[in-house]
A and B are shown apart, each in its own frame.
Chain A
Amino acid sequence: MILSVEGITFGYRSASVLGGVSFSMERGTVSAILGVNGAGKSTLLKCINRILRPAKGVVLLDETDLHKMTQTEIARHIGYVPQKYADNRLTVFDAVLLGRKPYIKWAATKRDIEIAENAIRAMKLEKFVLRPVSELSGGEMQKVIIARALAQEPDILLLDEPTSNLDLKNQVDVMNLITGVAREKKVAVVISIHDLNLALRFAGVFLLLKNGVIRECGGKESITTRIIREVYDVDVVLGEVGGYPVAIPVGP
């Protein structure tokens, strides 16, 4: 067990967003958080690494209460890939090197540079090293942010809809890279994702959120037509194409 989330509750002044979410996950697994817009997927991710402060609940990392750590200490354990990339003109290398921020005391050391270089190679960004990030395509930008999170050498990697702005090829590329990282570096990956089929293909654990509450949590077997209807309010047919599980919406 590496990450254990217990009873996370969060709300804005007018509305409750998360109502006591609990789950746990192991190293090397990829978990997908599924649900409609506004179900609380992004909020849950931000509550895990304390970008948002939950009203109640505990996040344990190997039995240590994460929310008693400083933001810098948390950043040494959890990498986060936000939904939107703020447009800036840092070079790709500088943007990835930022992932070393939680470790850098005064200046980047040789080791920091080496780790950033490895993250760039892992994301296959070698040819863009000195290009400003804002000049890259959406897919390349997404890879830069993932590389930055990898440079944090995290135990847990949180990704907020990493494929939402990507074309089909980049969607598959990015998901392959993420699952590769989980497998090789034994990182626990949590992805909030809209595309059910991508999730079915690449994730091993599924959390289905509705109105800030987990309706279902488990492996591929937990994805049924009944639970999809309950969460998304859509009828689907579940099947298999080319060896991969798929969900096709049917009906009006």
Chain B
Amino acid sequence: MKAPDGIAHAYSAYTRKKTLLFLFFLVLLAAAALLALCVGSYRLMPMQIIDTLLGRSGEAASIVVWNIRAPRIVAAVIAGWGLALAGVVIQCILNNPLGSPFTLGISHGAAFGAAFAIVVLGEGAVRGSGDNAGVIENIAVNGIYSVTLFAFLGAVLATVVIIILARIRKMAPESIILSGVALSSLFVSGTILIQYFAEDVELASIVFWTFGDVGRASWGEILLMAAVTVPATAWFFMHRWSFNALSAGEDAARSLGVNVERIRIWGMLGAAFLSAMIVSFLGVIGFLGLVAPHMARRIVGEDHRFLVPNACILGGLLLLASDTIGRTILESGALPVGVITSFMGAPLFLYLLVRGTRR
């Protein structure tokens, strides 16, 4: 006979609580997006936003919402989502809490690839718009897809080095992170070297990459990011049980029927592709892929069934909040979001380390 307050009952209440928490974060994200649409140098009321979304407002409000704020809000949510997803996956695959696209040098590898394409392959012609040509906000790189390709190759190069070190040399988790630091440093040095030989215009293009900024993505680029992020999310969510098994150890995962090698390779490549795509369109956005998974882990625990979706939502929320702060804090213009995430992320991460593993 089972007790009325059976184990299954307690467990189902526990999972229901976690599902509700996910829905709460989803609502919070929607509210944050609405708030972000309202605030800025041209203030709009929520009712005006709704009117604009329904096509019932004036031209000014319509331009502000559709051409300026909505793209950067959507870009922030997708990029934050994707970077957090990449962070969760890397942390699980490498069994290392400090793993992320940023700490492993994947972001810097992508930036180096982009710099290489811009300068060495001559993809760095800058197009500006009207009188503002030359202002960072209005710079865009021509040949964006070949630059993206090289950013991806740079990210994959970093990933392959990490996988080789982790698997063949059987390095300890902390050594892998140190290798990431060394790789980052190498890629940064490479980028500086390229910058040294670059012309003014090319230099401007490279600097454009190193400032992570969600404001520069067009709807087309946002669509491309979504086209990678959505299937990646589906794939990672489909394999959530395998990630749980992997977190119980490699031998345990194999004994539970997980094809560890396949999950590792596809997971790392997927995470690298996601990071490369985001970095190549928006620039380097530090710490987000590290902090969002840890925040989610503290709130919902290690179970990847809940960790993956919550980390993604929190990643989107964090990047959106950072960007909104960045563009409202200065009267004169927007601070690149990469600066804010690094300022916010580094102390938060130190706090997480100091607080230890207590939930």
Contacts and interface: CB of A to CB of B under 8 A. Distances in A.
Interface residues of B, number: 29
A90 B303 contact: yes
Interface stretch (B30-38, B140-148, B244-252, B343-351): B244-252
A120 B7 CA distance: 9
A91 B303 contact: yes
Contacts of B254: 49-51, 71
Given A113-B11, A120-B7, A129-B11, A89 B301 contact: yes
A244 interface: no
Contacts of B11: 93, 113, 117, 129-130
Contact of A126 (B7, B244, B257): B7
Contacts of B252: 80, 82, 86, 145, 148
B357 interface: yes
Interface string B213-246: 0000000000000000000000000000110110
B257 A93 contact: no
A72 B302 contact: no
Contacts of A99: 256
B96 to A, nearest CB: 12
B304 to A, nearest CB: 9
Interface in B1-30: 6-8, 10-12, 14
B359 interface: yes
Given A102-B257, A129-B11, A90 B244 contact: yes
A46 B251 contact: yes
B251 A101 contact: no
A98 B256 contact: yes
A114 B14 contact: no
A93 B258 CA distance: 20
Given A71-B259, A130-B14, A88 B7 contact: no
B302 A86 contact: no
A134 B247 CA distance: 12
Contacts of A71: 254, 257-259
Contacts of A120: 7
A134 B297 CA distance: 14
A86 B95 contact: yes
B10 to A, nearest CB: 6
B301 A82 contact: no
Nearest to B248: A86
A234 B12 CA distance: 54
A203 interface: no
Nearest to A42: B251
Contacts of B251: 46, 51, 80, 82
A1 interface: no
Interface string B36-68: 000000000000000000000000000000000
Given A95-B248, A113-B11, A120-B7, A101 B257 contact: yes
Contacts of B248: 85-86, 88, 90, 95, 98, 148
Interface residues of A, number: 44
The interface centre, meaning the residue of B6, B257, B359 with most chain A CB atoms within 10 A of its CB, is B257
B241 A101 contact: yes
Contact of B258 (A101, A114, A126, A130): A101
Contacts of B14: 91, 93, 130
Interface string B251-292: 110111111000000000000000000000000000000000
A101 B301 contact: no
Nearest to B13: A130
A70 B242 CA distance: 15
A78 interface: yes
Interface string A96-132: 0011011010000000011001001100001001101
A82 B255 contact: yes
A213 interface: no
Contacts of A181: none
Contacts of A49: 254-255
Nearest to A75: B257
Given A90-B302, A113-B11, A130-B11, A72 B249 contact: no
A42 to B, nearest CB: 9
Interface string A128-148: 011010100000000001001
A93 B244 CA distance: 13
B359 A89 contact: yes
A51 to B, nearest CB: 5
B10 A130 contact: yes
A152 interface: yes
Given A101-B242, A117-B11, 18 more contacts: A71-B257, A80-B252, A86-B252, A88-B247, A90-B248, A93-B7, A93-B11, A94-B302, A98-B245, A113-B8, A117-B8, A121-B7, A126-B7, A129-B10, A129-B11, A132-B359, A145-B252, A148-B252
CB-CB nearest 10 A-B residue pairs: A86-B249, A75-B257, A80-B255, A72-B257, A102-B257, A89-B302, A101-B256, A88-B247, A117-B7, A51-B254
Interface of A: 46, 49-51, 70-76, 78-80, 82, 84-86, 88-91, 93-95, 98-99, 101-102, 104, 113-114, 117, 120-121, 126, 129-130, 132, 134, 145, 148-149, 152
27 contacts: A49-B255, A51-B255, A72-B257, A73-B257, A74-B257, A75-B257, A78-B255, A80-B255, A82-B252, A86-B252, A89-B297, A89-B302, A91-B14, A93-B7, A93-B11, A93-B14, A94-B244, A98-B248, A98-B256, A101-B244, A113-B12, A114-B8, A117-B7, A117-B8, A121-B7, A130-B14, A132-B301
